[in-house]
């Protein structure tokens, strides 16, 4: 049973949709309208997988780091510097958004600021 969440599990991941395929995982999928490439974040109990994906049902096996990365909780040194697990995930999401934008042929799609009017 897949259930969809209306609110974000991680702040900053609110442009796409969250689903819960199992009790111990959550999946966030964000593909811009009209684009082929987007990002997918899969949260597990003690790690997260952040991927640049081509379509909703793309599956990567042994994908290059450019497209898929496993994020682990911060170690003791990262925690001492104030880095949280959420910070590490959001940093990797920014990298994968950049990859997805490059693959879509719009390298500034995710980084363009809204114009001030």
pLDDT of res. 56: 84
pLDDT of res. 22: 83
pLDDT of res. 39: 94
pLDDT of res. 106: 73
Written in H, E and C, the secondary structure of the chain is CCEEECCCCCCCCCCCEEEEEECCEEEEEECCCCCCEEEEEEECCCCEEEEEEECCCCCCCCCCCCCEEEECCCCHHHHHCCCCHHHHHHHHHHHHHHHHHHHHCCCCCCCCCCCCC
List per-block mean pLDDT (blocks of 10 residues) for the chain, which spans 117 residues.
Answer: 56 87 89 91 93 86 89 95 95 94 74 48
pLDDT of res. 38: 93
pLDDT of res. 64: 87
**Could you state, in order of their start, the residue ranges of all structural domains in the chain?**
3-104
pLDDT of res. 107: 64
pLDDT of res. 105: 85
């Amino acid at each position: 049973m897949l259930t969809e969440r209306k609110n974000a599990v991680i702040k900053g991941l609110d442009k796409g949709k969250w689903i819960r395929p199992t009790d111990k995982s959550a999946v966030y999928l964000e593909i811009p309208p009209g684009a082929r490439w987007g990002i997918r974040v899969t949260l597990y109990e003690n790690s997260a997988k952040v991927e640049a994906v081509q379509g909703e049902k793309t599956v990567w096996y042994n994908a290059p780091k450019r497209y898929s990365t496993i994020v682990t909780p911060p170690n003791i040194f990262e925690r001492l510097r104030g880095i949280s697990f959420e910070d590490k995930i959001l940093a990797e999401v920014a990298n994968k958004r950049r990859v997805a934008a490059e693959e879509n042929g719009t390298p500034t799609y995710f980084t363009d600021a809204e114009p001030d009017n």
